[in-house]
A and B are shown apart, each in its own frame.
Chain A
Amino acid sequence: MKRRTLIAGLGSLTASGVFAVGSGAFTSVSAKRTVSISVANDSTAFLKLNEQGNGRRSYTDGGTIGFDIPGPGEDDYGGTDPEGLGTDSVYRFGGDADNAEQGLFAAENQGTQPVKLYSTQAETDGVPTVTMYDVDTGNLLTEESPSDPMDVGNQLRCGLEIDTHGVPVREDEYDVTLTIHADATAD
């Protein structure tokens, strides 16, 4: 009942509004709303990224995952101590030095929609080319051929393929930035 009266009240107000200003039920509304944001570590974020295994080829430092190849802990497993990757080669790293777990890292969808995963690398001139791949299928994950849609709660174990063709041998390490994408699938 109260609501009815109210609608009638607004109706009359509208009428006078039209007369005076030429407007309808509202001329303008400005609603202030708040967005609360937390930046989380990779292990708790909406796209969860967890390093796998031991040997420090993959690691988490300051909240984000990173990779060191060869891993500083290589000699703890198998007793070898490689200096680096050979030139003009294609390597795949599907696990850390201990080979205990499948995958160098795992990506889990903690969002709300199925997503396809892939990686890109902005700068490829004179540095190794790094690409994510699915260690179960062996498929490279690129923008043109990303992973199958990954449902919320599912994870994908990933390795890195590293191509050193045309990359000279040098003493200093190469720093490469890999961008990991998770794009919601169109419906």
Chain B
Amino acid sequence: MQRRKFLAAMGSVTAAGAAGIGTGAFTSVSASRSVSLETASDNDAYLAFTTTDAKNSAYVSNASSGAVSFNLDGDATPEGDGSGLNRNATTQINDIVRIQNQGTEPVLVYVPPSSIDNANSTWKGDSENLRIDPQATNRPHGDYEKEATGNLDGGVADDQISLTGGFHSPPYTYSAYGENEDDRKEEFLLDTGEELSFGLYVKTPDSDKDVDISMEIVADATAVTDSLKAELNSEEE
């Protein structure tokens, strides 16, 4: 899946080049050029998922061999023999992996709510279903602090935010996270080389469930405003 996306991104670079340069006197040119590509396991990729420093990496596998998978089930490897989440409970596991920006530009990291099956929304989902929200802690930027309310706005860590923006789309427009656009986006910001902790917030029904839920984790450089970039540059100086 990741490989496909990457190829698609390359494709668009080529297309833009053609539009910009191919406007001369000829009708058509077809020139073969080579593009070398390599895919990397998640811990070495441009958008890296690393487990070395993460406290709860017992709940993730495959970081060094391919695409990570999150195991809140019998494949988890905590020290005890726990094999799943408690029924009728709210479980928050922070710092399962670190998400690191190994690219050359600042990015916003988030999870589009539409990439998670709506029935599993922690905010709007049906209580008979399992409900999930990806969340971030140990964030390098932003000043959001939870209110001690016990609901999703208030996680167990002070700087915990919802990577879906509480199922707002796009997540970085969620008004609780700041007064203006930059304020809100800053919460999701990773400069080159920076990382945040990725975690999961899950509400379970009082019944047996065994499910796989997929979500897309996005790192987007185009959403970083010029004023945020300027702010980052001034911090470095």
- Give the chain B neighbours of A20 by CB distance below 8 A: 13, 16-17, 20
Give the CA-CA distance A24 to B13 in the complex, in Å: 11
A21-B13, A37-B130 known; A46-B82 Cβ under 8 A: yes
Kindly list chain B residues whose C-beta atoms are within 8 Å of the C-beta of A34.
Answer: 69-70, 212-214
- Among A9, A39, A45, A109, residue most surrounded by chain B Cβ atoms (within 10 Å): A39
Q: How far, in whole Å, are A16 and B220 apart by their CA atoms in the complex? A: 19
Q: Nearest A residue to B108 by beta-carbon distance? A: A28
CB distance from B48 to the nearest CB of A (A): 10
The chain B residue sitting closest to A155, CB to CB, is B80
Q: Do A39 and B5 have beta carbons less than 8 Å apart? A: no
Whether, in the assembled complex, A35 has its beta carbon less than 8 Å from a beta carbon of chain B, the answer is: yes
- A37 and B84 form a contact (CB under 8 A): yes
B35 touches A13 (CB 8 A): yes
- B78 CB to closest chain A CB (Å) equals 5
Contact B36 A6 (CB under 8 A): yes
Chain A hits for B46, CB < 8 A = 25-26, 29
> Are A29 and B47 in contact (CB-based, < 8 A)?
yes
B104 contacts the other chain (Cβ, under 8 Å)? yes
A to B contact number (C-beta, < 8 Å): 213
Given A40-B82, A46-B85, A113-B56, decide whether A31 and B17 contact each other with a Cβ distance below 8 A: no
Residues 199-226 (chain B) with a chain A CB within 8 angstroms: 200, 202, 204-222
Q: Are B70 and A35 within 8 A (Cβ)?
A: yes
Give a binary string over A63-87; 1 marks a CB under 8 Å from any B CB, 0 the rest.
1100000000000000000000000
Q: Are B103 and A26 in contact (CB under 8 A)?
A: yes
Asked if B9 is at the interface of the complex by the 8 Å CB criterion, the answer is yes
Q: Is the CB of A25 within 8 A of B85?
A: no
Query: Which of B78, B86, B130, B207 lies in contact with A152, CB distance below 8 A?
Result: B78
Also in contact, A29 and B156, with CB within 8 A (given A20-B16, A39-B87): no
Number of interface residues of A (CB under 8 A): 51
Contact string against A for B residues 130-144, beta-carbon threshold 8 Å, 1 for contact and 0 otherwise: 101000000000000
Q: Are B72 and A38 in contact (CB under 8 A)?
A: yes
Q: Is the CB of A39 within 8 A of B208?
A: yes
Q: Mark A104-115, 1 if CB is under 8 A from B, else 0.
A: 000011111100
Indicate if A36 sits at the interface (CB-CB under 8 A).
Answer: yes
Report whether A10 and B80 are in contact in the complex, using a CB–CB cutoff of 8 Å.
Answer: no
Encode contact with A along B27-62: 1 for CB under 8 Å, 0 otherwise. Answer: 000000011111000100011010000011011000
Q: A9-B36, A14-B104, A39-B209 are in contact. Are A113 and B73 (CB under 8 A)?
A: no
**A34-B214, A45-B85, A46-B91 in contact; A23/B36 too (CB < 8 A)?**
no
Shortest C-beta distance, A142 to chain B (Å), equals: 15
What are some 16 contacts across the A-B interface (CB < 8 A)? Answer: A9-B34, A16-B17, A21-B13, A26-B221, A28-B220, A29-B5, A29-B6, A29-B103, A33-B49, A33-B68, A36-B71, A36-B211, A39-B84, A46-B82, A47-B82, A183-B156
